[in-house]
Amino acid sequence: MHKYNSVYAMVKAMRPEQPVYCLRPSAVTIATRWFQDNFPGRVLFAVKTNPEFVRTVYEAGLEHFDVASLGEIELVHRTAPGARMSFMHPVKSREAIRRAYFEYGIRDFSLDSQAELDKILTETAGAEDLNLFVRISVSNRHSNHSLAGKFGTSGQEAAQLLFRARQHADKLGICFHAGSQLMKPEAFRIAMQEASALIIKSGVIIDIMDVGGGFPSVYPGLVPPPLKDYIEVIVESFEESMVLETCELWCEPGRALVAEGASLVVKVELRKDDALYLNDGTYGGLFDAGQPAMVFPVRKVSAFDEFAEEEQFRFFGPTCDSIDAMAGPFTLPGDIDEGDYIEVDNMGAYSISMRTDFNHFSEYTQVIVDNVPSLSLYQGDLEQVPAPLKTGKKHHARLPRLRKAPVGATVKAMIKETQHDAS
């Protein structure tokens, strides 16, 4: 993969006709190390956000991956040898369960129904070394993009499923997802309180609490609190949860690890007043700019600072579909026109993963660049970490000791009292 000092150097050298991803492995390394140094528990990388960075986070010392398909399992197996994988998709094919267990040694499986539990037990031949995670439904009201409605169980059904999974699990976990791009740390407190209430209702002992993803990145108009505020809320809530001192704490960041790790350079094919027609769009790398209508930082790629008055623009992609549109608004110099290049920054999360071949506008190139992202939640660390790792050595973070959640006679009594309700 070619490497350039800047995005402008790439454009000058290549004059690309196809979209170009400018990857910044160093930014992903910074984010990965931040989570390892600041989250007092186990950190899993959600592979779906950007498979291109599996090796990067692995070489930064992260050796545990949240996988959702056989394809992701095979990728991690090839790219991060010896890494632990957790199959956290709540609905899996029988073949996927069987191969994950017998071929790839996976022992962690998520589920949110009795039917899925039965599938897991059948396809693993009644294995006794399973770590089963019951996915519960929690509030998504503080998320920029709700993930509620498709997965998760709640109420008495969730309590019963926890109780039944306990009978077959070597370790029992409870997991949830409070939504994508959480804008308030309080979202984790609310979700963890809901999880704690279900633990008591089910009358079981939980070995692992997985708070999922949702850790945000920064975008124009979407500036979250510092990430350390989220960690503080999670730790406080965990200490208040009704779990034993031996309970592990997990998280599954995706966007927060990779969002700053790439920008997408596109070419203007035509201008109509405030509308710019680009060589990539919502069926390509700009899906999030179209359907969730996220606004990304943009700039005209130029050798010098622009002095033209800025204007607001809408984008249209190259396909023949009218929904291939991005309302923005995106602020650029008013003289931008056909043939100019635009860098759409902070595109490291989901953009590559969600590309399609619609109308055969599918070709793109990848390069590595040295420049830092336009917006960053890790700015205090950007100047301290060198360019992309070259040694291949792993960074093993020294995690702070977690003050485990207190448990005493009161909690044990509550568990005993409620155990018969879930049976």
pLDDT in tens, 199-233: 999 999 999 999 999 999 999 989 999 999 999 99
The structure tokens listed for 121 are: 């037990």
Cα distance between residue 378 and residue 30, in whole Å:
7
pLDDT of residue 244: 86
Angle at 144 between CA 141 and CA 145, to 5 degrees: 90
pLDDT of residue 399: 32
The structure tokens listed for 327 are: 């309302």
Q: What is the DSSP track for 362-390?
A: ---EEEEE-SPPSS-S-HHHHTTS-SS--
CATH topology of domain 26-258: TIM Barrel (3.20.20)
Q: Which residues contact 331 (CB under 8 A, 6 or more apart)?
A: 298, 310, 311, 312, 313
Positive or negative, the Cα torsion across 206, 207, 209, 210? negative
Positive or negative, the Cα torsion across 216, 219, 224, 228? positive
Q: Where in the chain is the domain with CATH 2.40.37.10?
A: 261-380
Q: Specify the CATH number of the domain 261-380.
A: 2.40.37.10
pLDDT of residue 144: 63
Q: Is the pLDDT of residue 390 over 90?
A: no
**Of 419 and 102, more confident:** 102
pLDDT of residue 181: 87
Confidence of residue 307 (pLDDT cuts 50, 70, 90): confident
329 CB-contact burial (10 Å; exposed 0-12 / middle 13-18 / buried 19+): middle
Continuous segment of H or E residues that includes residue 173? strand 171-175
Going through 47-158 in order, the beta strands assigned E by DSSP cover: 64-67, 84-87, 108-111, 131-135, 143-145
**For residues 317-339, average pLDDT:** 96
Q: Is the pLDDT of residue 404 over 80?
A: no
The alpha-helical segments, DSSP class H, found in 281-408 are 287-290, 379-382
**For residues 64-90, average pLDDT:** 97
Q: Is the pLDDT of residue 31 over 80?
A: yes
Confidence of residue 143 (pLDDT cuts 50, 70, 90): low
pLDDT of residue 413: 38
Q: Where in the chain is the domain with CATH 3.20.20.10?
A: 26-258
Cα 1 vs. chain centroid, distance in angstroms?
A: 25
Q: Is the pLDDT of residue 289 over 90?
A: yes
Name the residue among 67, 107, 116, 64 with its Cα closest to residue 89: 67
Confidence of residue 22 (pLDDT cuts 50, 70, 90): very high
Whether the Cβ atoms of residue 337 and residue 322 lie closer than 8 Å to each other = no
Q: Is the pLDDT of residue 419 over 70?
A: no
pLDDT of residue 178: 83
Neighbours of 113 (CB within 10 A): 17
Name the residue among 21, 46, 69 with its Cα closest to residue 257: 46
The structure tokens listed for 203 are: 């009358």
Q: Is the pLDDT of residue 392 over 50?
A: no
**Of 382 and 121, more confident:** 121
Q: Is the pLDDT of residue 395 over 70?
A: no
Query: What's the maximum distance between 2 C-alpha atoms anywhere in the chain?
Result: 72
Q: Is the pLDDT of residue 398 over 70?
A: no
Positive or negative, the Cα torsion across 116, 139, 349, 40? negative
Q: How many Cα atoms sit within 13 Å of 96 on the Cβ side? A: 20
| Residue 414: φ, ψ to 5° | -65, -40
Helix (H, G, I), strand (E, B) or coil at 277: strand
Q: Is the pLDDT of residue 257 over 60?
A: yes
Name the residue among 374, 344, 380 with its Cα closest to residue 31: 380
pLDDT of residue 418: 39
Name the residue among 199, 205, 144 with its Cα closest to residue 176: 199
**For residues 238-248, average pLDDT:** 90
Bridge partner residues of 272 (DSSP): 275
Whether the Cβ atoms of residue 268 and residue 338 lie closer than 8 Å to each other = yes
The Cα-based distances of 18 to 186, 233, 268, 285, 299 in angstroms read 42, 44, 11, 12, 18
Rg (CA), the chain: 23
